[in-house]
Amino acid sequence: MKKLDTIRGDITSILGDSLFNIDISVTTISKCARKWKAGKHDGGHGFDSDHPINGSNKLFLMIRCLINAMIVHGYISNELLHSTIISIPKNLRSSLCSSDNYRGITLCWSLCKLLDIKILDKYDSYLYTSDLQFRFKPALSTTLCTAICIESVDYYFRKSGNIYSWLLDACKALYKVHYGKLFKLLIVRVMPGLIIRSLLDSCMRQQFCVSWY
C-alpha cells in the first residue's frame, strides 16, 4: 500500500487541467448500458444489470452526475467498492465436497461495472497489450493460439522432426501481480490522471465478503 500511496502522489502531479477535460455525458452512459449483458447480478445489492439496460434518461442523468463526481474528486463510494465472492464448481462430475473443485468469482456493483465499461470504451488506446495475448481482447480468443500450436506440431511431425513443448502454469499469477507497476505504466502512457487516480482509489479500498449458498 505504501508503494501505491507514492504513485498517488505521482498522479496528482500530472492532473493539471484535466479536471475540465473529462465529462461523461448522458448519451455515453446510455450507450455503455446497452452494451451490458442482461441478467447479471451484483451479489445482493439490488441493482442488477437489467436496471441500467432498461433505464430512462432520468436514471442515466443521475448516474452521470455520480460518476463524474467520483472521477473529479478521485473518490469512489464505499458501497460501490463492496463486492461479494461466490464459489462455483469447476467440474460437476467431480466431488462437490472438495475445495479444489471450486473457483471463486467476484460480483460487484452494477454501477461500478458500468464505469469499467466506460473506461474500456473511451480509453482502450491506453490499455493495449502484447500481440501475443489472445485472451480478454475483442475479436480474439485462445482458439487462434491453439490453432497455431497445432499447425506447428503438424508441420514438424510431417518433417519427421523433434517436437518440444514448454508449459507454464500461471493459474495463480493474478494474486502476485505488482499493481504499482501497472499504474506506473498507465502514467508513462499519459492516460488521463483523473482516470488513473480513480482506478487507484478503487484498488486500494476494495472490500469483500464471501457468500455461501
For 135-167, what is each residue's pLDDT tens digit?
777 777 778 888 888 888 899 888 888 888 887
Cell of 69: 463526481
Residue 73 has pLDDT above 70, yes or no: yes
Question: pLDDT tens digits for 169-201?
Answer: 777 777 777 878 888 888 888 888 888 888 888
CA proximity to 52, closest of 62, 195, 43? 62
Entry field: residues in the chain: 213
pLDDT for residue 10 is more than 70: no
- The secondary structure of 88-155 as a DSSP string is EES-TTS-TT-GGGEEEEEE--HHHHHHHHHHHHHSGGGS---TT--SSSTT--HHHHHHHHHHHHHH
Domain boundaries, the chain: 2-211
Mean pLDDT of 103-119: 79
Q: Average model confidence (pLDDT) for the chain?
A: 78
- Picking from 132, 154, 129, the residue whose alpha carbon sits closest to that of residue 145 is 132
The pLDDT score that the predictor gives to residue 22 is 66
The confidence band for 17, taking pLDDT boundaries of 50, 70 and 90, is very low
User: For residues 212 and 43, is the Cβ–Cβ distance under 8 A?
Assistant: no
pLDDT score for 15: 53
Say how far residue 14 (Cα) sits from the centre of its chain: 24
DSSP state of 197: H
Say if residue 20's pLDDT is above 60. no
Report strand pairing: 102-107 vs 207-211.
Answer: unpaired
Q: What does the alpha-carbon distance between residue 107 and residue 125 come to, in Å, rounded to a whole number?
A: 27
Q: What tens digit of pLDDT does each residue of 193-203 get?
A: 888 888 888 88
Q: Give the DSSP H or E segment for 8.
A: helix 2-13
Alpha-carbon distance of 78 to 84, in angstroms, equals: 14
Summarised one tens digit per residue, pLDDT across range 34-44 is 777 777 777 66
Predicted pLDDT at 103: 83
Note the pLDDT of residue 19. Answer: 46
Give the whole-angstrom CA distance, residue 153 versus residue 164: 9
Residue 210 pairs in a beta bridge with 85
pTM here is 0.68
Bridge-based pairing of strands 102-107 and 82-89 is antiparallel
